[in-house]
A and B are shown apart, each in its own frame.
Chain A
Amino acid sequence: MGDNPTSESLRATIPSSAGDAYGYIVIEHLLRPVRSASTWPALVHGMLDLPMGLAISVPVYVLFPLAVALLLTFPLALPFIWGLFWFARLAGQVERSRLAALHGVALPDPIGPLAPGSWWNRLGQRLTSVPRWKEIGYTVLRLPTGTAFFVVLTVLWSGSATLVLLPLYVLALPGEVARFGLFDVGFGVPVLGAAAVGLAGLLVVAPWATVVIGRLDVALARRLLAPDPGAELAAAAARAETGRAAAVESAESERRRIERDLHDGAQQRLVTLAMSLGDARERLDTDPETGRRLVAEAHEEAKAALKEIRDLVRGIHPVILEDRGLDAALSAVIARSPIPVELTVDVDPRPQPAVESTAYFVVSEALANVARHARATRAYVAIVRKGDRLIVEVRDDGIGGADPANGTGLAGLAERVTGMGGTTDLLSPVGGPTTLLVELPCGS
């Protein structure tokens, strides 16, 4: 520790009492803002608060009362309401970038895109959006706060500079006396004292004021221009809860489906098979002809049961998905499709097994749906990895009008995707075509 010549070790060489050391720490603390490089962009930011306040607040001061006053004749108020929201968005973006550039504080935009709807619906979305109103609140507060900050900064910085220059001013005057109307100031202790105060102002008070005002600016923007951290957490918790519930529900319905398939399919076939064989065994001696027919029937039943179990198990989790990946596993799926399917897979590096398995399920389920309902002549499947997201697209040229509410297939698919933390988008206008877009987080 002691072998590097830092200020610490140098100070240790100076004989000093505990009091001296304490004084040194206090001075160092007082001088920290003036020595910090971040103070100067903060000063620029603070000085810009007034002009920005004028540019941002004045239009809002005009638009807001106009919009409110014209509410009586509602249609006339509409352009002003729209203008108010639009302008506040613009101001919010500008202020967030100003904060990022000069304070290095990057605030995320709290306002998401509007959900598609009629203009009336979109207006409603705007009017009920708390972050949008907070943004308007910011534009209203910008001018008064900006003026106050600007005044404080100007007075402290230029006042201190004036005091520092006072002795020089006095010396430069004839007779070395400055006449300020009510009182005269000659060169002497008072002037030097004033200069000392000015120096303290320049080195300590003004920089500190700049830092404090910067923090106030950041705090104001954090409250009004950034997402509410509580709401953020609540939203994340709600998303996780939805995902968990969907995962549980999806696993549950998958279990029910397997149970039903086994019960209705293979199990019934095996019962029939055992019956036919039992019957055949009774008759082999007395009625060999019927016995032979029954054995042949049992043989067919056994093969059908095998095929059903094979299809069922393959639908749950094909082994080839594990050792060769999505492209190889989906080969068999598209081969089973009654309509031609074009398959493009570009996933490198391979996502983890749960994601691959979900993507496989999505494509199988979507193609089964296409075959059942779409009356399509062709289908296209594309699976692409973009960074930490896996994008699955299934498109067909069918009649469209697919609705998750109508069939369990699409609803189950969306549920499984939600359970993985992914999103499902279905575009299926009546008349077609249908595009299913699924995004899954790969989490790496």
Chain B
Amino acid sequence: MRVLIAEDSVLLRAGLTRLLLDAGLDVIASVGDATALVEAVERHQPDLAVVDVRMPPTNTDDGLRAALTIREKWPEVGILVLSQYVEERYATELLAHDTSGLGYLLKDRVADVADFLGAVHRVAEGGTALDPEVVIQLLARSRRRDPLAALSPREREVLGHMAAGLSNSAIAQVLFVNEGTVEKHVSNIFTKLDLPPADRTHRRVLAVLRWLSAEEMT
């Protein structure tokens, strides 16, 4: 797998490069600012770009804006956005149209190497990886509280993992239950929230996110 790293901190860039190389991935280039990132993607057409949000030139949300540009021009390039803080607003902007091949994680998650590499593979293969913190923010900001209240605590937990982009088997592993149980929970959630059934994981994520951010219709 060909990976491009965009990160302005030299230390972290070196660390990430080593970590990905050790995992057998091919780091084809690493850059330190948003402009160079877009150029490098155009030149190398990687499978995945790992992007820091706060980067030069303006040191605000340059990485995020570069990620949006890349999505628009080269939608087949997977993007994993890493950030010191995760923000529901950035996530909503990033995931506005499509959640396939997209990830948005706290930088801290790199410390749990196995989980992080799982997310890298998932995103590169067209899946979704959303940080649990973002999911918590999305749930808190959702204006559609009452249907959420109808969910059991376990179903809410499963909904969170669904929104984060986990497949049924991955959710089953996290919750230490078998896949059939997860499937039952998922179908309950879809019925209770009146969501259209979705076969592919990333479409399911999109449906859940849209549902969470939509205004309640009365």
Contact = CB atoms under 8 A, between A and B. Distances in A.
Interface in B108-137: 108, 111-112, 133, 136-137
Size bracket, chain B contacts:
20 to 34
Interface string A344-359: 0000000000000000
Interface in A326-357: 327-329, 331-332, 334-335, 337, 340-341, 343
Contacts of A307: 108
B187 interface: no
A302 B109 CA distance: 12
A247 B176 CA distance: 53
A310 interface: yes
Contacts of B136: 335
Contact of B87 (A303, A328, A343): A328
Interface in A341-398: 341, 343
B140 A319 contact: no
A407 to B, nearest CB: 25
Size bracket, chain A contacts:
20 to 34
Given A303-B111, A306-B108, A340-B140, A331 B87 contact: yes
Contact of A310 (B90, B108, B139, B140): B108
Given A331-B141, A332-B137, A302 B87 contact: no
A338 B85 CA distance: 19
Given A331-B141, A335-B88, A335-B136, A319 B60 contact: yes
A264 interface: no
A303 B108 contact: yes
A29 interface: no
Contacts of A284: none
Contact of B85 (A302, A319, A341): A319
B108 A332 contact: no
Given A302-B111, A319-B54, A324 B89 contact: yes
A331 B84 CA distance: 16
Contact of B88 (A299, A328, A341): A328
B85 A318 contact: yes
A323 interface: yes
Contact of B90 (A299, A320, A327, A343): A320
A314 B137 contact: no
Interface in B58-99: 60-61, 84-90
B54 to A, nearest CB: 6
A318 B136 CA distance: 18
B145 interface: yes
A325 to B, nearest CB: 9
A241 interface: no
A399 B57 CA distance: 49
Contacts of A299: 111
A331 B138 CA distance: 8
Given A319-B60, A322-B60, A331-B88, 14 more contacts: A303-B111, A303-B112, A319-B61, A320-B87, A320-B90, A324-B87, A324-B89, A328-B89, A332-B133, A334-B141, A335-B139, A335-B140, A341-B140, A343-B141
